[in-house]
Structure 1
Amino acid sequence: MLSVSSGSRASELLGVTPGDIDWARQLFYVVSKGTDEREAVPASPQAMTVLAAYLDRNGLPAAREPVFRTLRGPDRPLTYFAMRRVLQRVNDRLGTNWTLHDLRHTAANRMANDPNLTLAQVRAILRHADLATTGRYLNARVEDLFDALQAHYTRPRVQRTFSAAYDPADVKAVFGG
């Protein structure tokens, strides 16, 4: 839920500690790919509720320990490979073939195609270095295209008018008639 809500990479999420969570502002901090900088990432209220329930059920780790822990064996941080294995078991049960990165792609597609978010905002949320990377997630749905074209064709054409100070012959010579 947190991955699809925020668009964070699995490796970023697995490094989140209790000190990285800002409950009041509904965001958390991650160390982004290719940098050593902590960057704020917004999350949905639902994702923060699920995270709170997870921590309530499994306990809060030490301040500098990752919040996501193994449920089998001794208490230790959940690794990328262990998380991948969890997803493999889910895939086997559901007959799907999702990857951890598919969760990020889902978030990116949803955000990039939301008319209330600009592509620049989505780039910042996903922490892409290049706007072109974010642009790959833009999808034109046939239904949206059809509706937009219907609106275009049914709008009345704007009639051009020119100031009376212009000679009609000059207007016709420049703009056709």
Structure 2
Amino acid sequence: MPTRLDTPTAQAPIEMTLIERFLAHLAHERRLSDHTVTAYRRDLVQISRWLADQDAGALEQLDEAGIRRYTALRHRQGVSGKTLQRELSSLRGFYRWLLRENQAQVNPAVGLRAPKSPRTLPRTFDTDQLSALLNPVDEDPLMIRDTAMVELFYSSGLRLAELVGVDLGDIDMREGELGVIGKGAKSRRVPVGQKAREAVERWLAVRPALANPDERALFVSLRGQRIHPRTVEKRLERWALERGASQHLHPHLLRHSFATHLLESSGDLRAVQELLGHTDIGTTQIYTHLDFQHLAQVYDQAHPRARRKSSKPDDRS
């Protein structure tokens, strides 16, 4: 019976030198985010442990047949196609770097694809439901901060890391614009709606009581320092519960809601792509499926040839 990959044996020594050098390349040369580098580390270490358990050599010696065996095992264990595709992407990136460093002759992961999983559509908040959650005015400084974060997530379609990284000088309150650093250290400017500006202004009025004097971050914690991503997630969950939300609230749900509501109103996929900071429009196209669901419901209810026939018997027969 194969060893489960999430519980590697303690006797599996791993040579980390090349992996650590590759991760340093990602962090310092390519300037990828800490989150992305951590994902690469997790994938490569996991595959290395599997190789060690199989006594199959080092990661840099892996061949195409070995990758196929690994992928097949993971698939049998119920790992999703999306996760497997990410792991293959990590391997391809590692081997591209090995080729550059003359540590490998070929890239064995090129051309390999993971088994496809059914595509799941992201959940979103209904417009009216979200507006109802945002309407109450808070007095507590932390709730004022949390409301400002929710408004900015929804107003500008930010990722969690982008919101946490916002500094005081990044937001132009008069013009209603915000500069953010997205994936791959790519910068973009996004609009900030009126409601979000009002919420941020309320937060700025109470921020000095919490923030350290030299802190540049827009959003700070009780310790006066830049707020941690995990703290944002916990605070948003608490914020929603206290306001009676019917579903769990997390930053990406607000980003999904932003994209879906914008696409439903405008139909401009390219604009949504730019606002979200997607390099590939294929990533943005997931929201066309959401939009089509809405359109299909309208069609079923409104089109005279789409309505279901009455269950009453036809007297003319």
> Structure 2-normalised TM-score?
0.42
Q: Deviations over 1:66-124 (max 9, x none)?
A: 11011x3x21110101111212333554463222211111101111211x351111111
8 Å contact 2:212–2:224 — kept in the other structure? Answer: no
| Pair 1:41–1:88, CA change in 2 (3 A) | same
Identity %: 25
Which one of 23, 44, 53 corresponds to residue 202 of structure 2?
Answer: 53
- Secondary structure of 2:287 counterpart: coil
Name the residue aligned to 1:106. Answer: 257
* 1:86 partner letter: R
Please list every run of 5 or more consecutive structure 2 residues that lacks an aligned counterpart in the other structure.
1-150, 306-317
1:12 paired to 2:187: no
Return the TM-score normalized by structure 1. 0.73
Return closer, same or farther for 1:54/1:117 CA change in 2, 3 Å cut-off. farther
Q: RCO (CA 8 Å, sep 6+): is it higher in 1 or 2?
A: 1
Q: 2:229 aligns with which of 76, 80, 85?
A: 80
Q: Is the 8 A contact 2:212 2:225 kept in 1?
A: no
CA distance, structure 1, for counterparts of residue 282 and residue 302 of structure 2: 24
Matched, 1:120 2:270: yes
- Poorly superposed stretches of 4+, deviation over 4 Å: 60-64
- Aligned partner letter, 1:13: L
Runs of at least 5 residues in structure 1 that lack an aligned partner in the other structure: 152-177
Provide the rounded CA distance (Å) in 2 between the counterparts of 1:133 and 1:26.
Answer: 27
Distance 2:190 2:214 in 1: 19
Q: Distance in 2 between matches of 1:106 and 1:128?
A: 16
Contact persistence 1:32–1:38 (CA under 8 A): yes
More helix as a share of residues? 2
Compute the RMSD of aligned alpha carbons: 2.6
**1:19–1:63: 8 Å Cα contact kept in structure 2?**
no
Q: Mark the CA change 1:63 to 1:42 in structure 2 (over 3 Å): closer, same or farther.
A: farther
Counterpart of 1:22 in structure 2 is 172
Q: Which amino acid aligns with 1:11?
A: A
